[in-house]
Amino acid sequence: MISKQDYYAVIFTSTQTENVNGYGEMALKMEILAKQHVGFLGIDSVRNDVGITVSYWESLDAIKKWKQNSEHLLAQQKGKTYWYSWYNVRICKVEREYEFGNI
Amino acid sequence: MISKQDYYAVIFTSTQTENVNGYGEMALKMEILAKQHVGFLGIDSVRNDVGITVSYWESLDAIKKWKQNSEHLLAQQKGKTYWYSWYNVRICKVEREYEFGNI
């Protein structure tokens, strides 16, 4: 995803509790929902002990609207109550990008 | 790491080849070296099928100097020759940050 226009990244870093019942289904549901959202550009996600999910968006406004999506709000609430012991969200402007090889 | 000053994130997303001989040692060496580098703020790294490493820096200049560090240049060359089938580097300005819980 090389874009000539400005775009934004949301870096979501997290650690989970021991109670991750229902998390997998919700994470999948949110990924499907995010992909349908206006301004969504892409997502990369990896988890071991720590999880890093980076989603890419056309604008700060698109990020704000995704954060306020009603189903996503419910997921965020469940995340704080049950699944995450800690998380950090960084909203970033992508200033430069380069790539090697072909995926 | 909540900073009141502007700072930058380098999002490094990659897939590896099947030949990762020497990669683990080099990755550890580079992490130790980066931590000693002027302007380094922190690093998060996770790998499954895809790897995401995000490093944080005080300035674009610090990122540029780290990229040009001679030992790091050698590691980058080895990475392209042997270890990575693909990678993407995004240099980002962190615009906003919030956190939940305590790590």
Instruction: List pLDDT tens digits, range A46-89.
Output: 999 899 999 999 999 999 999 999 999 999 999 999 999 999 99
Q: Does A86 touch chain B (CB under 8 A)?
A: yes
Q: Between residues 23 and 82 of chain B, which touch chain A (CB distance below 8 Å)?
A: 44-48, 50-52, 54, 60, 80
Answer whether A91 sits within 8 Å of B84, measured CB to CB.
no
Among B2, B81, B103, the strongest candidate for a mutation testing the A interface, having the largest count of A CBs within 10 A, is B103
Under DSSP, is residue A31 helix (H, G, I), strand (E, B) or coil? helix
Q: How far is B85 from chain A (nearest CA, A)?
A: 6
Q: What is the secondary structure of A81-101 as a DSSP string? A: IIIEEEEEEEEEEEEEEEEEE
Residue for token pair 């922190």: B42
User: Hey, are the CB atoms on B98 and A88 less than 8 Å from each other?
Assistant: yes
- The Cα of A33 is separated from the nearest Cα of chain B by a number of Å equal to 22
Q: Which residues of B touch A43 (CB under 8 A)?
A: none
- Name every chain A residue with its beta carbon within 8 A of the beta carbon of B47: 46, 48
Q: What is the ipTM of this complex?
A: 0.92
Q: How far apart are CA A86 and CA A101, in angstroms?
A: 35
pTM of the model: 0.93
Q: How confident is the model at residue A5 (pLDDT cuts 50, 70, 90)?
A: confident
Reduce the DSSP state of residue B61 to 3 states and report it.
Answer: helix
User: For residue B58, which phi and psi values (nearest 5 degrees)?
Assistant: -70, -30
DSSP A24: H
Query: Which two three-digit tokens encode residue A12?
Result: 């979501």
Q: Sign of dihedral through CA atoms A17, A18, A20, A24? A: positive
Single-letter residue type at B75? A
CB-nearest to B92 from A87, A93, A98 is A93
pLDDT tens-digit map of B15-25: 999 999 999 99
- Provide φ and ψ at A36, rounded to 5°: -90, -5
